[in-house]
Chains A and B, each alone.
Chain A
């Protein structure tokens, strides 16, 4: 045993002791009785598993498994290069086809989860503009989701405006809300901006909660229409029949369409002149200004664009649930979306999609362990920051930009 490994295992032992200290109050205090057995059992499992995993990891680092990992690595490298040789459009077509036929092979529950994932993908991509591209930490992003949802809810309930017509209105209202929030706050930088946006997010929620006349307060708004569609009907001649898209399968296609629009929009923004300006602001605001970038307007635009996508997702949310209440727009939701962006990789579109999948779909898969969700969540985040600090699928900085192809 070398000195380095001694230190390593000592740290591990200390961490385990600390873990037990944390774990015991969670599991050992029940109905006023103090037990150690339950906590000890879980602790033993964690200790054993981590010991095996860490030993394997260390042995691998020392080169004990080269006989196995060598050939495996070569196979992986070959697969990687093969995957790279398949052009991106082919991958996109495969993905799109998979997404299109998904509802044909899955039940209600799986479709419900998929719809949730897609809503969060839209939200994550919107927030990604603000955080990933422009570098502004926004902790109140969910407010725009709320603005979009309530805009559609009110339009639908009071004026019976159809969903598709409401979409641009919701986007506009969210953008205006983004500008209203952005205008006074964007003079601040860094941590201060985060705190102020956090406050604004809460203001929006509290207004929704208390403006009884408009939003019906905590009781929420009921009776929102689902999206409608015209389908050709051949019953008597050729006519268009209006139907409500109530069931999950058509709703899945609606949000899939919205997501595709969002992805294309964010991608186009990302690789435009505006996207470049946003990135320069993220990198160094003063230097960007010296290069002739109107930093204030562009930051405001980033806010507004992020809000637009949040607002669209919100409108869909209202149409799907047919009910909105302020409870859906708490800080927890903002934190969730933020986690997706950070976990997936800031500034990376596939990363944000993966992040949303990981944070919405995986908890569904592990439903039995629901009680430990937050614990696992925290652990997973910590592990991520240690092993992949740039996110699951980090933003690919070079090689894909149009002007670098020449």
Chain B
């Protein structure tokens, strides 16, 4: 494992008004890893990702990316450092075409030729999207929208990809396909991935390390094969 973590959270706290959503989160992601965060509804998983991206402001603690603190950086400055998120619920731009959606992912980039190349690469990765580049994003099916959201994030050439519930509301076969692509992105491009999932089963099999969150705290941290053998996890998250 590499020496320095790509992303590190140290006792990060965040709140929505008076409601504390994160009560001191610490986690590390090393370059090239797939790490997953599992937990029930309202555990603070999505908030963690939104706080990393600066959409929700951290009220305490430190977020280090590539060794530098980013908790005070403006959210729109982060994609150009290679930190991209696929938000929960996909959040594609429904009335922009598939192609425009993908181009928005490269909005901060100015290198036109490389953008074109990346666009072809993404369309190769998702042949479904290649057939529908001129269709409005909102007319795609759930699975296609998820692929579009991932493709859009890839257009930013991420070093670190934050994936929020890619399996949400999708059929098992499509979930399987999406996780294959996630693994492929990780292997071929060396993209580090932090994955948030409610579907603990698939999250733990995709990742090498996992964190378990409960009500705004990290309660457990281990390699995923050990987490899967943990009787408590099996009972609480794997439904056994």
- Write the residues of chain A forming the contact surface with B, with a CB cutoff of 8 angstroms: 273, 276-277, 279-280, 282-284, 286-295, 397-399, 401, 403-404
B92, B96, B107: the one contacting A293 at CB < 8 Å is: B107
The yes or no answer to B214 lying at the interface (CB within 8 A) is: no
Q: Are A292 and B108 in contact (CB under 8 A)?
A: yes
Q: Which 6 A-B pairs have the closest CB atoms?
A: A292-B108, A283-B93, A292-B79, A287-B91, A294-B76, A289-B75
Q: Are B104 and A291 in contact (CB under 8 A)?
A: yes
Which residue of A is nearest B112, CB measured?
A: A403
Q: Are A290 and B75 in contact (CB under 8 A)?
A: yes
How distant is the Cα of A293 from the Cα of B87 in the complex, in angstroms?
15
User: Would you list 25 pairs from A and B whose C-beta atoms are within 8 A, ordered by A residue?
Assistant: A277-B107, A279-B93, A279-B95, A279-B100, A280-B107, A283-B93, A284-B91, A284-B93, A284-B94, A287-B91, A287-B92, A288-B104, A290-B75, A290-B79, A290-B85, A290-B87, A290-B91, A291-B79, A291-B152, A293-B104, A295-B76, A401-B100, A403-B99, A403-B103, A404-B99
| A276 neighbours in B (Cβ, 8 Å) | 100, 103-104, 107
Beyond A286-B87, A286-B91, A287-B87, is A294–B107 a contact (Cβ under 8 Å)? no
Least Cβ–Cβ distance between A400 and chain B, in angstroms: 12
| A403 neighbours in B (Cβ, 8 Å) | 99, 103
| A294 neighbours in B (Cβ, 8 Å) | 74, 76
Beyond A284-B91, A286-B91, A397-B97, is A291–B134 a contact (Cβ under 8 Å)? no
Known: A276-B104, A283-B93, A290-B79. 15 other contacts (CB 8 A): A273-B107, A280-B93, A280-B107, A283-B96, A284-B94, A287-B92, A291-B105, A292-B77, A292-B79, A292-B107, A293-B76, A397-B96, A398-B97, A399-B134, A403-B99
Most buried by A among B80, B93, B94, B103: B93
Which residue of A is nearest B95, CB measured?
A: A283
Least Cβ–Cβ distance between A294 and chain B, in angstroms: 5
The yes or no answer to B195 lying at the interface (CB within 8 A) is: no
How distant is the Cα of A301 from the Cα of B227 in the complex, in angstroms?
50
A277, A279, A289, A292: the one contacting B156 at CB < 8 Å is: A292
Binary contact readout B70-93 vs A (1 if CB under 8 angstroms, 0 otherwise): 000011111110001101000111
| B92 neighbours in A (Cβ, 8 Å) | 284, 287
Q: Are A286 and B104 in contact (CB under 8 A)?
A: no
Q: Are B93 and A398 in contact (CB under 8 A)?
A: no
Which residue of A is nearest B81, CB measured?
A: A292
How distant is the Cα of A396 from the Cα of B75 in the complex, in angstroms?
32
Which residue of A is nearest B75, CB measured?
A: A289
| B104 neighbours in A (Cβ, 8 Å) | 276, 280, 288, 291, 293
How distant is the Cα of A48 from the Cα of B33 in the complex, in angstroms?
74
| B80 neighbours in A (Cβ, 8 Å) | 292
Beyond A290-B79, A398-B134, is A279–B107 a contact (Cβ under 8 Å)? no
Least Cβ–Cβ distance between A235 and chain B, in angstroms: 57
Least Cβ–Cβ distance between A117 and chain B, in angstroms: 29
A280, A286, A289, A290: the one contacting B96 at CB < 8 Å is: A280
| A284 neighbours in B (Cβ, 8 Å) | 91-94
Least Cβ–Cβ distance between A302 and chain B, in angstroms: 16
Least Cβ–Cβ distance between B8 and chain A, in angstroms: 21
How distant is the Cα of A279 from the Cα of B97 in the complex, in angstroms?
11
B163-187 interface with A by 8 A CB criterion: none
| A282 neighbours in B (Cβ, 8 Å) | 95
Q: Are B55 and A286 in contact (CB under 8 A)?
A: yes
Least Cβ–Cβ distance between A260 and chain B, in angstroms: 28
Least Cβ–Cβ distance between B97 and chain A, in angstroms: 6
| A286 neighbours in B (Cβ, 8 Å) | 55, 87, 91
The yes or no answer to B7 lying at the interface (CB within 8 A) is: no
Least Cβ–Cβ distance between A199 and chain B, in angstroms: 25
How distant is the Cα of A108 from the Cα of B122 in the complex, in angstroms?
60
How distant is the Cα of A10 from the Cα of B95 in the complex, in angstroms?
38
How distant is the Cα of A292 from the Cα of B83 in the complex, in angstroms?
10
The yes or no answer to B37 lying at the interface (CB within 8 A) is: no
Binary contact readout B20-55 vs A (1 if CB under 8 angstroms, 0 otherwise): 000000000000000000000000000000000101
Which residue of B is nearest A284, CB measured?
A: B91
How distant is the Cα of A279 from the Cα of B104 in the complex, in angstroms?
10
How distant is the Cα of A118 from the Cα of B100 in the complex, in angstroms?
33
How distant is the Cα of A289 from the Cα of B104 in the complex, in angstroms?
11
Which residue of A is nearest B85, CB measured?
A: A290
The yes or no answer to B11 lying at the interface (CB within 8 A) is: no
Least Cβ–Cβ distance between B165 and chain A, in angstroms: 15
Least Cβ–Cβ distance between B148 and chain A, in angstroms: 11
How distant is the Cα of A291 from the Cα of B79 in the complex, in angstroms?
6
Least Cβ–Cβ distance between A279 and chain B, in angstroms: 6
Beyond A288-B104, A291-B107, A291-B152, is A397–B87 a contact (Cβ under 8 Å)? no
B76, B93, B94, B136: the one contacting A292 at CB < 8 Å is: B76
How distant is the Cα of A282 from the Cα of B96 in the complex, in angstroms?
10
Which residue of A is nearest B138, CB measured?
A: A283
Q: Are B55 and A397 in contact (CB under 8 A)?
A: no
| A289 neighbours in B (Cβ, 8 Å) | 55, 75-76
Binary contact readout B121-148 vs A (1 if CB under 8 angstroms, 0 otherwise): 0000000000000101000000000000
How distant is the Cα of A282 from the Cα of B107 in the complex, in angstroms?
15
